[in-house]
Structure 1
Amino acid sequence: MGHYLSACAMLVNHTGNSHVESRLKYIVGELQKVQDALGEGYLSAFPREHFLRLQDLQAVWAPFYVIHKIMAGLLDTYNFLGNEVALKMVKDEAEYFTGYYDRVIAVNGTDHWLRMLETEFGGMNEVLFNLYDITKDPEHIRLAEAFTKPRFFQPLLQNTDPLPGLHANTHLAQVNGFAARFEKAGHEASYAAVTNFFSIVTRAHSFATGGNNDHEYWGPPRQLADSILLQEHATETEETCTQYNMLKIARYLFRWTGAPVFADYYERAILNGLIGTQRMPAGYSPQASAGWKHPLNGTSAPEMWIPDPTALAAVAAMDLRADNWRTAAHLLFTGGQSLASRNGNEPGPGVVIYLLPMGSGQTKGGSSRGWGDPLHSFWCCYGTSVESFAKLADSIFFFRQPPLDSGVLELYINQFTSATLASPLVGLSVQLEASFFQGAAATANISFAPLTASGTAGGESSGAAEIALKLRIPSWAISSGVQVEVNGQPWAGCTPTAGPQAGSFCTVRRVFHAGDRVVLVLPMSIRAERVQDDRPEYSSFHAIMMGPLLMAGLTHGDRSIEADPGKVAELLTDVSSKGLASLVLPAADPPMHIRHDGTMLRADMTRVASSLDGTYRLLSHDDRDPGHFAPTASWSFGDIIILEAANMPGVYVHVGDGQGAALELRRTDPGLASRLVLRSACADHEGSIVLELADRPGMAVGLHDGGLHAVQLPAQALGHQVAFPAMASFVFELAAPLAQYPHGTKLLTGADRQYIVAPLMNIVEDSYTPYFDFHQPSTSLAMATS
């Protein structure tokens, strides 16, 4: 509930949504009734007895962790919307727990209290320091100080690493409390603790995503290879809650210092570790998650669960009451027409992940919890996720207000996310349009427009304002190619002595007018980053980065490549979508898409297998060179084609010798793949085809014993054009591709093989591998791209 309150408050602050604001006010009012009924300022979903158990050091799950959430949500409601009722409720809760703390100290002493702090208590220190900043009540700062755990805080002051063996999210929330202690109470030592912690965790415990932790815990420093290589670990990495807290820490540090390194980290962490963690494909079955053990070749009954087509009728017949509304809502959610009509690649709200797997051939839903359920999942990561997605705009722009009469307002363009800023401080509306997927460079177009009299965008006055515009030039940018233009003219005055440099801010100070435009072009460096592991046997494992984006391989577990990681920029090229198509078997009930392994896939069950597993690239003879095959976007009956797996370059469909031989995949020369003749199947069913084996006339690909095999065509078909029944087991349709490549997809070419790689943020259901195992080529690079 606390994260939901925060999310609503932030959403109203960013959008002005009056419906959300009225709902938030209603919820706060109802919570106040609960607090009044419980008495003494206590507000919680569980009884006071939990805190007695905590005091007795008995088993109890994190009661202060939950109290922190509700207090933070109420405080955000006050901070963003000025809700005085919410503020009073937080103060009453703080007064209650001040009394609780005093009673514990009086009865059990300080050492006993510190033992109680070994149970996760969230960010109680942070919310209380933030409350003190509003009230200036010394009781609030006294209680906040009580939640400082010396055995974690003191090593950080000495810049030693206390992280191995600690639960990550428990302690990340405490670091945010240290930050608030410095910012709100002026505690200088806490500044050192926060900066030292950030350095330790990012240099010795982090993945290329900017995230960290394995099974929610930190391991030994610079020994992360185990977390990506051992499959029992590799699915349980990078808890989403921890990314939420890491982003908060980075934001504190950037606000204090203005240092680009913290903005660079924020960008890496939010793009790779947060964006792309919410998903709801059409036909998704939350019930399936419990039995989801084989994300690529699912066979368990729960995994293949499909909503009963009578669900809608059942809901319509229900007498909806207070005790069954959730059942009805869930039936509608999984079986409703709105979902059935969605495109299979279209995301939807309310389905997020708890963990982001970092192993090979993993899927985002392949962890122990899988994708969550919008109505039934109540993980901690649902709370942090709803808040994270409500505050995506909170670190795009920053101000630095100079002292009076000593300069002009500094406006920082900190993140390259399309957004509009309407602030009276600036005097103009600032519109930012940004993209990472326009060629080899990221781009940002910044335009200025008038404000209305009330300080919102869309005014008619011809405003003007002197501003020092601070454009972040990320550390990943190629300095020699960075371009800054103001109204079409190059801007050379980024600094008093130099042009734009990676890892700095470019200052554009001038009087801006409505209609002015600033354009920033940032060529993205492509590089391989070694896994944070100093053991020599793991020195070959690297993640490929394009700008801030982790480029994961679309693989089912393969990760080995013969290539020099120092020259990876030369190995990454654009990939074409030409020739992509899917095979559909109308004879199946319902019609099925054919996967590369010869099994079948329902179009609405792409959650249990990558849509790319049912997508092929058609290659046909080059008329000028019959031995050469090239991707083709068109075909005619009589054409000879081969089929390449769309997500596995150089892997082709092969049908073994003899009747009944199975369809299989082989990594081979295209000339050795099975050549298929496209024959017309049904005169009355346009687009129907038979895939006859070119070197075995009369044999074709067909359905047999639940898979695809070589089957004998009817005798009368030999040498003749025959109309086959549309539902014959060897009649297919060439359909539009079941999937397209994610935005930003590239082709990685090594000396031995090629991979399709794509930004992790844009991968949803496809299996992926974040780290490649690089080996120096044994021969010169000679592979040609497809």
Structure 2
Amino acid sequence: MQPFKLQDVKLTDGMFKKAQNVDLKYILELNPDKLLAPYLIDAGLPLKANRYGNWESSGLDGHIGGHYLSALAMMYASTGNVELKMRLDYMVNELALCQAKNGNGYVGGIPNGKVFWERIHKGDIDGSTFGLNNTWVPIYNIHKLFAGLRDAYEITDNQQAKQVLIGLGDWFIELIKPLSTEQIQHVLDTEHGGINETFADLYIITKDKKYLDAAKKLSHLKLLNPLLEKQDKLTGLHANTQIPKVIGFEKIATLTHNTDWEQASEYFWQNVTQTRSVAFGGNSVREHFNPTNNFKEMLESNQGPETCNSYNMLRLSKALFLDNNDVSYLDYYERTLYNHILSSQHPEKGGFVYFTPIRPNHYRVYSQPETSMWCCVGSGIENHTKYGELIYSHSEKDVFVNLFIPSELNWKEKGLQLIQKNNFPNENSTELELKLTNNQTFSLNIRYPKWAENIQILVNGKAELVKANPSQYINLNRNWKNGDKISVQFSIKTKLEYLPDGSNWAAFVRGPIVLAAKTSTADLKGLFADDSRMGHETRGKLYPINEAYVLVDDSKNYVSKLQPIDNMNFKMDSLLLQPFYQIHDARYQMYFQTFTQKDYENQKEIQKQQEIALLALEAKTVDKINCGEQQPEVDHQYKGEQSNSGYDDEKFWRSTRSYISYQLQNKNKAGKYIEISTLNDIKSENFEIAINGIEVKISSIENRTIKIQIPEEENFQLKITAKNKIPTPRFYQIRILK
């Protein structure tokens, strides 16, 4: 199975075409010189514009530039817009000048990059999940440039991008040459994107085995080994750290015919999609994989599934589909494409979503071109450029129709055009028309989706016998002539889909489309993000979960209570259920608890008391850090040495044999004391705590929680130092409380 090039598939009418156009506008609003500034700074070349703020000026400098190259390449291929190609060629040339100035093949925007990389080259390595020598995910950062240069070459045939990419790859191989296997694996403990995949790509481009050897060497064994044994060790891991590694495992497996690595990749995909994903295809809470048997934290959090995760899960799904010729991967791909990716961009104003909460009566935040430089902006500008990548695929002479998206396929080598028109999912059909230069015999294969019922195929108005099952292809083999028309008609039904943990929370799904209800437009604080470090997180109040809508009846009646308005809109008492991708600028409810009348009466008072306690604690919290989690720690300028982090007892933690420190924000000086919670018994003689460099006394220790009075200052540094290299307790949360 082979994909068509993006140049071969053009979107026509419909919501995907509209989303592509909105993304194009956002891409053109970004300034290439601002994105290039971190690279010019590092190379010592004069700036043409100051760099962007936000994440582009706080440690992840340059990462959007790599994504931007990919987005320019893919959007140019999809639309033919010449301004995109001009920008791409300009950026590649500027990066080549930076590389030439550096003189060793290196080009990057990482702050103090030359000093940082020299330490790594010498084997001076101190890192944990996201901090490597107190630098924020530097290999993840440079991986974006690797991928952007690859896409610039492979998609638009920019030969200069190929040369810069090869030079960068050769520099990296020299960088890690002195390191032992153990040292390289220690480096890989810090989030590093899909660096193994891009070295496999360099092997594909050059056929030089040294790049494939590097790809294997840069594969993280701490993740790979459990997958090889079919062991689920994913709970608590930072989700988007893992997915790109597996994309690399899969590519290396294909290149080396390694069935063990291929099966490990398939096992990971099955685990994530079947036991860790919610109805719209996303996964993770506060960026981490939650326990498969407990989605409670995801239901409570305002930091639901991260869009970057779905971006990468679709890349993995595409690779597995093409390599295994297995249609079932497309069921997940389609579900996630419609419900998460399409919904993650504002349909009029543009802007990309980081977190999509499933907490009832909550909402999402959208980026803005001048203020927001998050990871999900980088993947976001790519997401909507490449909708054409899997609508169709092909073998040597046969065509496969995978998705029902209005589009035109032009297979020039075969003198074949395929025009698809529909109003799906608002109507349960799609129409295909063939334009051929000559009559041809081949198979036209139409995907039979898992969700479709009573599917019917008509060729030139005549019904065909369907000899296929759901998640297979319907094979139409004949001598086709110019103007032949194929009609695909099916029926769909609405079902309740429960969370994988076996709880009583469920979402309405109609065909591949997740339905949800707008519940309010009140208190959408920060709906369009400012330039603050955590601008991607909602700031509006959390509405009590016990006040959310619930379904109370016998289970057989839940779906039957929906009153259809049209194919995709339903009335349910006072609510309007509609496709989730249509809901924007509002609070919403996607998941509903289901009860019998008796169970509801028993549970509502218990839930009410739980919510009162939870919201009361949040109300008196001025600032908090979940230790060991990437975003809260980076937001609080974490620094440390000889520090470890992990996940135990359903909590993230951090400890140290040297020191850890954070900058805390005591807004309006409202906080009076700090609570530091641990997973261990506390031996205070083994560590000391300082605020702004002055040691402070512990007021009390109770229930593994340290209490400290704080000075009347708006911002201060909290530093915890181990004594005599004795490990500190595992700290899991720090709160400033009123």
> What's the TM-score bracket when you normalise by the shorter of the two chains?
0.5 to 0.7
**Partners of 2:89 and 2:228 in 1: how far apart?**
42
1:563 to 1:414, Cα distance in 2 relative to 1, 3 A? farther
Tell me, in whole angstroms, the C-alpha distance in 2 between the residues paired with 1:166 and 1:7: 28
Tell me whether 1:251 sits opposite 2:75 in the alignment: no
Which secondary structure state, in structure 2, belongs to the residue aligned with residue 435 of structure 1? coil
The CA RMSD over aligned residues, in Å, is 1.9
8 Å CA contact 2:140, 2:192 repeated in 1? yes
**Is this contact kept in 1: 2:191–2:241, CA < 8 A?**
yes
Is the contact between residue 343 and residue 581 of structure 2 (CA under 8 Å) also seen in structure 1? yes
Deviations 1:678-715 (A, max 9, x none): xxxxxxxxxxxxxxxxxxxxxxxxxxxxxxxxxxxxxx
Alpha-carbon distance, 1:188 to partner: 2.3
1:395 to 354, 365, 390: 390
Residue aligning to 1:525: 493
Q: How does 1:501-540 map to 2 (within 5 A)?
A: 501-534=469-502, 538=503, 540=504
CA contact (8 A) 1:528 1:565 kept: no
Q: Which residue of structure 2 lines up, in the alignment, with residue 163 of structure 1?
A: 234
1:224, CA displacement in angstroms?
1.6
Aligned length: 498
Distance 1:502 1:189 in 2: 28
Deviation, 1:171, is: 0.6
Alignment of 1:435-584 (within 5 A): 435-439=423-427, 442-450=428-436, 462-478=437-453, 481-492=454-465, 494-495=466-467, 500-534=468-502, 538=503, 540-556=504-520, 558-575=548-565
Q: Give the aligned residue type for 1:418.
A: P
TM-score of the superposition, structure 2-length normalised? 0.65
Residue 513 of structure 1 aligns to which amino acid in structure 2?
A: K
Give 3-state SS (helix, strand or coil) of 2:424's partner. Answer: strand
Letter of the 2:251 counterpart: A
* Corresponding position of 1:272: 339
Any idea what SS the aligned residue of 2:144 has? helix
Q: How does 1:270-669 map to 2 (within 5 A)?
A: 270-279=337-346, 347-349=348-350, 351-364=351-364, 370-401=365-396, 409-439=397-427, 442-450=428-436, 462-478=437-453, 481-492=454-465, 494-495=466-467, 500-534=468-502, 538=503, 540-556=504-520, 558-575=548-565
How far apart, CA to CA, are the structure 2 residues paired with 1:564 and 1:147? 54
CA distance in 2, matches of 1:446, 1:171: 39
Q: Does 1:74 align with 2:64?
A: no
Give the one of 244, 247, 250 matched to 1:173: 244
Separation (CA, whole Å) in 1 of partners of 2:562 and 2:328:
26
1:186 positional shift: 2.7
CA distance in 2, matches of 1:511, 1:12: 35
Structure 1: gaps of 5 or more residues: 280-345, 365-369, 402-408, 451-461, 577-742, 780-786
Partner of 2:630: none
Q: Which residue of 1 aligns with 2:684?
A: none
Q: For residues 441 and 173 of structure 2, what CA distance do their matches in structure 1 show?
A: 49
Residues 405 and 424 in structure 2, CA contact (< 8 A), matched pair in contact too: no
- For 2:100 and 2:583, locate their aligned partners in 1 and report how far apart those are by CA, in whole Å: 47
For the pair shown, the structure with the greater C-alpha radius of gyration is: 1
The Cα of 1:379 is off from its aligned counterpart by 0.6
The 2-side partners of 1:472 and 1:573 are apart by: 30
1:745 correspondence with 2:569: yes
1:215 is aligned to: 286
Contact conserved, 2:554 with 2:595, CA < 8 A, in 1?
yes
Letter of the 1:56 partner, please give it: I
The alpha carbon displacement at 1:375 in A equals: 1.8
Q: 1: distance between equivalents of 2:401 and 2:382?
A: 22
Is the 2:551–2:558 contact (alpha carbons within 8 Å) kept by the matching residues of 1?
Answer: no
Partner of 1:51: 117
Shift of 1:553: 2.5
Gapped runs of 5+ residues in structure 2?
1-64, 127-132, 521-546, 600-738
Greater fraction of residues in helix: 2
Gap change, CA 1:7 and 1:564, over 3 Å in 2: farther
Distance in 2 of aligned mates of 1:436 and 1:424: 27
In the other structure, the counterpart of 1:455 is none
Q: 1:502: Cα distance to partner?
A: 2.4
Which residue identity is paired with 1:388? N
In structure 2, what residue type is equivalent to 1:389? H
Is 1:261 the equivalent of 2:234?
Answer: no
Alpha-carbon separation, structure 2, partners of 1:567 and 1:554:
22
Superposition map of 1:132-143 within 5 A: 132-143=203-214
Return closer, same or farther for 1:566/1:102 CA change in 2, 3 Å cut-off: farther
Deviation at 1:568, TM superposition (A): 4.3
> Cα gap change, 1:444/1:262 in structure 2, threshold over 3 Å: closer, same or farther?
same
Shift of 1:567: 4.8
- TM-score normalized by structure 1? 0.61
Identity %: 27
- For each residue in 1:163-208, what CA deviation from the matched residue of structure 2 results, as whole angstroms up to 9, or x when unmatched? 1111011111101111111123333222011100011112221111
For 2:496, give the aligned amino acid. A
Q: Is the 8 A contact 2:247 2:316 kept in 1?
A: yes
Task: Verify the 8 A CA contact 1:559 1:771 in the aligned structure 2.
Answer: no
Task: State whether structure 2 residue 308 is matched by structure 1 residue 241.
Answer: yes
Instruction: Report if the CA contact (8 A) 1:129-1:177 is conserved.
Output: yes
Equivalent residue for 2:257, pick from 186, 198, 214:
186
Q: Contact conserved, 1:526 with 1:568, CA < 8 A, in 2?
A: no
Q: Distance in 1 between matches of 2:403 and 2:463?
A: 22
Note closer, same or farther for the CA distance 1:553–1:53 as it changes in structure 2 (3 Å cut): farther
Residues in 1 aligned to 2:458 and 2:80: alpha-carbon distance in whole angstroms: 33
Offset of residue 517 of structure 1: 0.9
The one of 576, 580, 598 equivalent to 1:756 is 576
The question of whether the paired residues in 2 share the 8 Å contact of 1:745 and 1:759 is answered with yes
**What is the alpha-carbon distance in structure 2 between the residues aligned to residue 549 and residue 529 of structure 1?**
11
Structure 2 letter corresponding to 1:377? S
In structure 2, give the amino acid aligned to 1:755: L
Is 1:767 paired with 2:587?
yes
- Mapped partners of 1:195, 1:436: distance in 2: 30
